[in-house]
Amino acid sequence: MKARKRTNGTHKVGYGRPPISGQFPAGKCGNPKGRPKGSRSAASMARATLEQKIAITAKGVRKKMTVREVAFRRLAEKAIAGDIKALSFLLILEDDQQQLSEVMVGTPTSAERSLKILQGFFERQLRGENNDKPKLTNTLVTSAKTCGNRGGAR
């Protein structure tokens, strides 16, 4: 790091220019330990809470359900009882989920797209469309095809 110059009273103090006595020494920072490794985000805590199983009694039978399932059941009960907001919310959730599933059905994964690009490249190389570059052998094409299947869905 660059050594800090100590001036004799000519250092301007103001917005974004703290006094030299209040600055951190060279090589040190204001948060030396940083974020702890085990800390979790609010989204991950909310997801864990919603997926937690709880015991409930439904129609005289004790069941274990996730908090998410119980919340949707209560929302449905309110909608049935005539709560317009609950009904509207349920219909919006169902519509969003339906649109999401329609989009996801036709969309190839990035691994599938990458595999298609690589296959096209290797096929062009074998046909000799790129004359300025050396041709590849069949073993390279075969190994590229098998590498695409190794990673699994992400």
Is residue 42 assigned to a domain?
A: no
Is residue 19 assigned to a domain?
A: no
Is residue 140 assigned to a domain?
A: yes
Q: Rounded to two decimals, what is the model's pTM?
A: 0.44
Whole domain around residue 53: which residue ranges? 48-106
Give the pair of three-digit tokens for residue 92. 């919006």
Is residue 43 assigned to a domain?
A: no
- Which residue's entry shows tokens 């937690």? 52
Dihedral (CA of 136, 137, 140, 144) sign: positive
* Those residues with Cβ within 8 angstroms of residue 6's Cβ, 6 or more apart along the chain or in another chain: 20
Q: What is the pLDDT of residues 23-66, one digit of tens each?
A: 888 888 777 787 777 788 899 999 999 999 999 998 899 999 99
Whole-angstrom distance, CA of residue 70 vs CA of residue 55 = 10
* Those residues with Cβ within 8 angstroms of residue 19's Cβ, 6 or more apart along the chain or in another chain: 11, 13
